[in-house]
Structure 1
């Protein structure tokens, strides 16, 4: 989906609870990732696509830059693709763990999420209705199969909504975003 298709989908869903829930979840995602945003899928379903969209949105909202945590990174993988499950054991307060699980979460995933929660990480989940996973979350978005949108479409809505400008954003932050858009982000 491109930006125009996401905008059209948002317009079609504008009067639904789903869009309001998605925007609420996205605001929480944006505000929860104070230090690092860890992104984890299931052993069968790594959220590559969502990671790419969040990375793109991080140009405007740097807190959205995800660290993709992988179940079994291949030897010799580039650093950004070599982050394994041991990163979850090192999760700290101020970090957010965003778990994406379209199907029921396996026990090893639930254990690792619980461990990260105990160390102080904020847990956000986007799932297909898994009660156990939702029960571990500080904030959850449930996308049921056969609902108004597919799981993939919901991921697009979340990433786009996470980058939307907050209505309470101050003048200084709006000017910084405008300057970044015009000249590119300042690097140090």
Structure 2
């Protein structure tokens, strides 16, 4: 989803809780990876791997000049013969430590073995963020959770687009000086997609 489509989606969602919720969650994600610098681990479930979110976060990391946002995608069916960026298996969660951020994306409660690994990573000091289920053990474990329950106005894929776009924005209001290219582009997209003013 490109910047113009994200801007249109934000227009449609104006006045709903989604814009504030996704920006808050993205700010927590960005703040965690920038402050700790230990890396971002991204994991889904065996049935749902967040490929698109991984790709969008890589793009946002490049656009925003925030390399810490580029995640390591932890795959459940990773094989040693896979390319290096696709060969990271669930065993990587066991090595998660303080300073690292673990983002779990799941449409429902993850299976027990995965929950156990996630819980171990949290106990080892990793910051745990959850995107998906609103109830259950995963959001209860998370330091920060953004629930996307079944039947909500947005699906999990759309929320991931909003989160990744917001994570790449320059969210440091106290910073002075020239605005980043990404911020200027986002502002231009907002202006181009805004409805014309009503003249009486």
Please indicate, yes or no, whether the TM-score normalized by the shorter chain is above 0.5. Answer: yes
Q: 2: distance between equivalents of 1:76 and 1:20? A: 42
Count of aligned positions: 178
Q: 2: distance between equivalents of 1:90 and 1:74? A: 18
Structure-2 residue corresponding to 1:63: 68
From 122, 127, 136, the equivalent of 1:131 is 136
Q: Is the 8 A contact 1:73 1:82 kept in 2?
A: yes
Deviations 1:75-94 (A, max 9, x none): 31111111111211111111
From 154, 162, 176, the equivalent of 1:157 is 162
Structure-2 residue corresponding to 1:104: 109
Q: CA RMSD in A?
A: 1.8
Q: Is the 8 A contact 2:98 2:126 kept in 1?
A: yes
Q: Is the 8 A contact 2:133 2:139 kept in 1?
A: no
Structure 1 position 16 matched with structure 2 position 16: yes
SS of 1:58 mapped into structure 2: helix
TM value normalised by structure 2: 0.83
Structure-1 residue corresponding to 2:173: 168
Q: Is the 8 A contact 1:105 1:130 kept in 2?
A: no
Structure 2 unaligned residues grouped into runs of 5+: 185-200
Q: Is the 8 A contact 2:22 2:162 kept in 1?
A: yes
Structure 1 position 144 matched with structure 2 position 141: no
Moved more, 69-78 or 110-119: 69-78
SS of 2:15 mapped into structure 1: coil
Q: Is the 8 A contact 1:38 1:96 kept in 2?
A: yes
Structure-2 residue corresponding to 1:185: none
Larger Rg: 2
Question: Once superposed, which parts of structure 1, at least 4 consecutive aligned residues long, lie more than 4 Å away?
Answer: none
Deviations 1:33-78 (A, max 9, x none): 1220000000111110100000000111212110001112023111
From 39, 43, 46, the equivalent of 1:43 is 46
Q: 2: distance between equivalents of 1:22 and 1:118? A: 26
SS of 1:110 mapped into structure 2: helix
TM value normalised by structure 1: 0.88
RCO (CA 8 Å, sep 6+): is it higher in 1 or 2?
Answer: 2
Structure 1 unaligned residues grouped into runs of 5+: 182-188
